Chain A
Amino acid sequence: MSLQLLFDALALGGIYAIAALGIALIFGVMRLVNFAHGQFIACAVFALIVPSTDALAVLGLGALPAPVLVPLILMIGAGLAVLAEALVFRPMRNASPVALMVGSFALGVALQNLLLVLYGGRPKAVSLWAELGQPVQVGSASVPLLQLIVIAAVVVILAALAIMLRKSRLGLEMRAAAEDFTMARMLGVRSNRVISGAFALSGALAAVVALVLVAQTGVADVRMGGQIMLVAFIATVVGGMGSLSGAVAAGLGIGAASALLQAGLPAEARPFRDAFLYGGVILVLLFRPQGLFAPVGAKPRV
C-alpha cells in the first residue's frame, strides 16, 4: 500500500514537475507567465491523430514506432512553441508582464478553438502503447509498467536538462538571461536565440507531458492540458517564479500532496481535493510571497 502510494506520488509529481519546468523556463528568460502551455500540451496530443470531427480517432503519427514517434512529437511541440514566440510574443517583447500574460491567455484560447474546429469537441479514445498498462510486481506493490517508465523518463529528462543548463553555451546564456536579462544582453547574449531556445525546450517538455497523458488516460480531449497547466502553474509560483529547481521541487511536492490527499482524505471530502490543494497554495503564497525557493532577483529593487 505505502509503496504503491510512493510510486503514485512520484509519477504524478514527476509529470507536474516537467510541466512546471516548461512554464518556469519561459518565465525565467522573459517574465512571461505562459497560459498557453496547456494548449501546447493539447496540440501535441492531437498531433498524434488524423484531423476529423468523427468520434472515432484514427492514429496518424501515433501509429509510428516509438523511436520515431517520440522525437517527432517533441519536435512538433518545440516547433509550435517557437512559432508562437515569433508570431505573438516577439512583437510584445517590451510589453508589461501583465499584457504578456493576457496575450498568452488569448493565444491559448485561439489554439484551443482551433483544435475544436479541426477535431470537434468530443473526447476521443486513443490507444497509444496500450501494452504499457500491464502491472509489474515491485516489492509488495504492483505498479503499471507505464508508471515506472514515466518515473525513469522524468529522472533522465531532469538530469539531461540540468547538464544542459550547466555545461552548454545555450544553457549558460539562459541562466544568465534569467538572472538579469539586460545585463546578459550587454555582455553579448543574443536575446532572440535565448528566448527561442527557452520556448523550444518548453514546447518539447509540453510534448513529453502530452505523450504521458495520452498513454495514461487513453483519451484525447481538447481541454486536457488545462488542469495540468493550472497545477504546473501553481507549482511554478510556489517554487518561486523563475527558479527552475524550485519549480521541479514544488511540482513533485504538489503531486505528492495530491496523491496523499487522495489516499488520506475521508471519502466524502475527496471530491474537494483540489480545493484543499489550491487553498494550500494561497497559504504558501501568504507566508512566502516570492515562493519557497525565490531566486535572488525576484524581490523588486527600489
Chain B
Amino acid sequence: MTSQHTIRRRMAATTPVLLALILLAFVLAALALGDRAIARMAAETLIRVTMVVGFWVFVGNSGVVSFGHAAFGCIGAYVSAWLTLRPEMKATLLPGLPELIAAADWHVLPAALAGGGVAALVALLTGAAILRLSGIAASIATFAFLAMVNTIWANWTPVTGGTSSVVGLDRYVTPWVALGWAVLAITIAAVHASSASGLALRATREDEVAAAASGIDRYRHRLLAFTLSAFFCGAGGALMGHFIGVINPDGFYLSLTFLMLAMLVIGGVGSLSGAVMGVLALSIAVEVLVRLEKGVRVGAATFALPPGSQEIILAVAMILILIFRPAGLMAGREVMLPARWVAGQTKPEN
C-alpha cells in the first residue's frame, strides 16, 4: 500500500511537469498561428514566466513582498550586455568599463548565467542586511534598494550608459530559448519549494513566532530563497535585454515592478502554478488589449480603445481580483495530477 505521504510527494512532483507541458502547448499554439507578432509575444511571456517564477521563489514562500526584484533584472541585463557586446562598440558606448570586461566577448549562454549569478551575488550581499528586517520594514527596504540601483544606473554614465539606452544586444531569444529558461526556473522553484528549506520558509510565512519556536532560522532560509530568486530575475533580465535588443535603467523600474507584482497577485501568491498562470493570463490579456488599442474592424467601423487604457484596465482588474478573489486565480492550489493516477499499484491486503 502506497502511503499517503508518498502519494502527496508524487503529486507535488507532477506540478512542474504539468506546468512545463502547459507552456510547451502555449509555444506550439503561438507558433502554429504563424504570426510573427504572436511568436514574439510568446517569447516575451516566457521570459516573464522566468522572472515571475524567480520572484515567487522569494515572495511566495516567505510571504514578504519585495519591491526590489526589478533591480535584479536590471543588473542581469546589464551584466549580459557588458559581456556580449562587441569590444569596439563598448569602447564608444561605455568607455568607463574596466579593461577585463571591455575586452570580453562572451557567448550568450554563459553571459546570461553570469547575469543571473551577479544578480544572485548582489542579492546575497544586500539580502544579508535587508532580510534582518521583517514585514513592512523589509518591503520598504527592498523599495529603497530598487530606487538606489535605479539612481546608480541612471547616473553612472561611463559604465551603464546612463539614461540613454544601451543598444545592439544580440537578439537571440526565440520562444524556444525562453521556454528552456522558464522550464528550468519552474523546475528549480518546485525543487526548492519541496525541499526542507522551502518548507521551513513557508512555516515562517504562516506563523513567524511558532516557526522560530520550532527551531527554524528564518533569516537563513529567507536569504537562500532571496538569492535563488534573484538568480532567475537576473537571468530573466538578461533574456529581456537580448529579446528587445535595447536596455535602459527605466525599463527595469516601477512599471516592471508593478507588472511582476500584478502577475503574481492575479495568479495567486500562494502557489507556483499561480505564478505561472498569472503570467499567462495577464500576458494574453495585455496582448488582446494592445490589439484593441490598435483598433479592431467590426464591419465598416473601426473600434479602438484610447491609448493608455490597457494599463487602466489591468490595474482595475487587479483591484477587482484583490477585492473579490484575494487569493488570486489559483487560490493557492497547484496544478497536479489527481491522487489515484499517481498512487500506482495497490496490492490487495490479506
Contacts and interface: CB of A to CB of B under 8 A. Distances in A.
B119 interface: no
Contact of A285 (B137, B254, B314): B137
Interface string A83-126: 00000100110010111011101110110111011000000000
Contact of B315 (A106, A272, A300): A106
B261 interface: yes
A214 B127 CA distance: 38
Interface residues of B, number: 42
A47 interface: no
B133 A91 contact: no
B34 interface: no
Nearest to B132: A286
Contacts of A99: 265, 322, 326
A109 B311 contact: yes
B134 interface: yes
From DSSP, what is the main secondary structure of chain A's interface residues?
helix
Interface stretch (A66-74, A191-199, A230-238, A255-263): A230-238
Contacts of B143: 230, 233-234
Interface residues of A, number: 42
Interface string B34-74: 00000000000000000000000000000101000000000
Contacts of B322: 92, 95, 99, 102-103, 106
From DSSP, what is the main secondary structure of chain B's interface residues?
helix
A101 B308 contact: no
Contact of A88 (B137, B148, B319): B319
Contacts of A285: 133, 137, 140-141, 144
A113 B258 CA distance: 13
Interface stretch (A14-22, A139-147, A155-163, A273-281): A273-281
A55 interface: no
A114 B323 CA distance: 21
A123 to B, nearest CB: 15
Contacts of B306: 117
Given A92-B323, A110-B319, A101 B258 contact: no
Of A95, A105, A300, A302, most B-chain CB atoms within 10 Å: A105
Contact of A279 (B134, B148, B314): B148
B284 interface: no
Given A103-B322, A291-B137, 20 more contacts: A33-B140, A95-B322, A95-B326, A97-B136, A98-B63, A101-B136, A103-B319, A105-B258, A106-B315, A110-B312, A110-B319, A113-B315, A116-B308, A226-B254, A275-B155, A281-B141, A285-B140, A285-B141, A289-B137, A302-B209
Interface of A: 33, 88, 91-92, 95, 97-99, 101-103, 105-107, 109-110, 112-114, 116-117, 226, 230, 233-234, 237, 241, 271-272, 274-275, 278-279, 281-282, 285-286, 289-291, 300, 302
